[in-house]
């Protein structure tokens, strides 16, 4: 029940902040969020298909998105490794990764297209900002947009001590790839 309340509050908060001044409301339909951890002996990829999000195209022409994903939803293919990841990222106290994305004006609704976004992430009880993250619009038609991008996240940004295996610590860099399909709530999507 608590988890449901958190998700509900997270998805309603952006709507309260924009009110009638917004032009279009977008919904995250499908997503794949993948992190990569590099250890001197191997590389690990964890993924989640459970992200939720909303976006608003404001009357000022700017785009504002809020995406949230449960830390426990990430799967690296090894249950013990996933449990250890949840422990070191303090998932018991901070169960969600919250991502705020702000994009300035977009010239037109065409694809492919490169954009830059200011990204703010709340994770493991800490907040980090990543200015000018490159995003790619791969497809945009009928009120649907497919975006990808990579956030250059590091463990140090969130004060997470690098886990070690055989006394060798993982690298500080943990890039997070985003692959997201958004749809305009006010438009009916074209059928493919």
Show the domains of the chain with their CATH numbers: 24-184 (2.40.128.110)
Instruction: Quote the pLDDT of residue 190.
Output: 47
Report pLDDT digits (tens) over 19-31.
334 467 899 999 9
pLDDT bin (cut points 50, 70, 90) of residue 107 is low
Report pLDDT digits (tens) over 129-166.
999 999 998 988 878 889 999 999 999 999 999 988 88
Mean pLDDT over 121-135 rounds to 96
Give bridge partners of residue 45 from the DSSP assignment: 36
- pTM value is 0.81
Lowest pLDDT segment from 12-21, 28-37, 105-114: 12-21
Tokens of 95: 């169960």
- Of 129, 144, 168, 190, give the one whose Cα is nearest residue 38: 168
Report pLDDT digits (tens) over 72-101.
999 999 999 999 999 999 999 999 999 999
Tokens 């830059």 correspond to 116
Tokens 């309340």 correspond to 5
Residue 79: count of CB within 10 angstroms of its CB: 9
Instruction: Quote the pLDDT of residue 33.
Output: 96
∠ CA 51-93-47, nearest 5°, is 30
Residue 9 parent element (H or E):
helix 2-18
pLDDT bin (cut points 50, 70, 90) of residue 65 is very high
């Amino acid at each position: 029940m608590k988890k449901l309340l958190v998700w509900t509050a997270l998805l309603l908060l952006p709507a309260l902040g924009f009110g009638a001044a917004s032009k279009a409301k977008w919904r995250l339909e499908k997503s794949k969020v993948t992190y990569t951890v590099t250890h001197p002996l191997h590389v690990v990829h964890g993924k989640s298909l459970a992200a939720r999000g909303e976006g608003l195209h404001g009357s000022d022409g700017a785009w504002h998105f809020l995406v949230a994903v449960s830390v426990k939803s990430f799967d690296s293919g090894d249950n013990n490794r996933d449990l250890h990841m949840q422990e070191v990222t303090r998932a018991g106290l901070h169960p969600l990764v919250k991502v705020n994305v702000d994009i300035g004006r977009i010239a037109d609704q065409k694809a492919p297209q490169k954009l830059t976004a200011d990204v703010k992430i709340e994770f493991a009880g800490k907040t980090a900002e990543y200015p000018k993250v490159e995003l790619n619009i791969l497809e945009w038609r009928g009120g649907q947009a497919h975006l990808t991008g990579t956030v250059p996240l590091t463990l140090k940004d969130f004060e997470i001590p690098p886990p070690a295996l055989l006394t060798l610590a993982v690298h500080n860099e943990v890039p997070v790839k985003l692959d997201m399909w958004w749809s305009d709530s006010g438009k009916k999507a074209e059928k493919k």
